[in-house]
Amino acid sequence: SKRIKTLSVRRPILYGNTAKKLGEIRPANAPVEHTHLWTIFIKGPQNENISYFIKKVVFKLHETYPNPTRVIEHPPFELTETGWGEFDINVKIYFVDEANEKMISFYHRLRLHPYTMSATGTKLPGTDITITESGEVRSIFYDEVVFNEPNENFFKILMST
Ligand code: SLL
């Protein structure tokens, strides 16, 4: 349908990852060299529903993972895995068909450790990283998806939720 000019609608999202060291409890199928359990996610800041505008999320993992392209078609838009290393995850967010919008693509650096390494191997204090009392590492970002001049159908969908 017709596009509404000079209007933009913003929807907040949180994205990032949490990670825990694998202790005595480890998934039965986790390879021995895997040291961490991690989850990458996209969600509403207050855990509100985001599936009325997001259709699916594709996480592209490091090529050391079997079937590195992981497609999540329903909320929660998250993926849990085990592993040993940090790497950049390509995140692609696809919007509902009514939006008639191109997907957005960006990278999130998977964080497993409560620090970052400099080129010389020294530990630098991490800016984007927090650690909880239970020892969970978190690297989470707030962002906004901006829909410029949404069509009338999609505008109704955005406003009705
Ligand atoms: C590097 N940052 O630059 C590292 C790559 C790859 C991590 C890290 C598990 C793979 C598997 C895994 O943790 N890969 O399932 O075998 O070299």
Using an 8 Å Cβ cutoff, are 158 and 151 in contact? no
Ligand 1 center–CA 5 separation, angstroms? 46
Q: What tens digit of pLDDT does each residue of 98-123 get?
A: 999 999 999 999 999 988 777 777 77
Please check whether residue 57 is in contact with residue 42, taking contact to mean a CB–CB distance below 8 angstroms.
Answer: yes
Enter the tokens of residue 23.
């202790």
Measured by CA distance, the residue closest to atom 8 of ligand 1 is 85
Q: What is the pLDDT of residue 115?
A: 80
ipTM value for the complex: 0.91
DSSP 98-110: GG----EEEEEE-
| Binding-site residues, ligand 1, Cβ < 6 A | 31, 62, 64-65, 83-87
For the chain, the straight-line distance linking the first and the last C-alpha, in angstroms and rounded, comes to: 20
Nearest atom (ligand 1) to Cα of 33 = 16
Rounded to an integer, what is the distance from CA 58 to the centroid of its chain?
A: 9
pTM over the 0.80 mark: yes
Q: What is the mean pLDDT of the chain?
A: 92
Residue whose Cα lies nearest atom 9 of ligand 1: it is 83
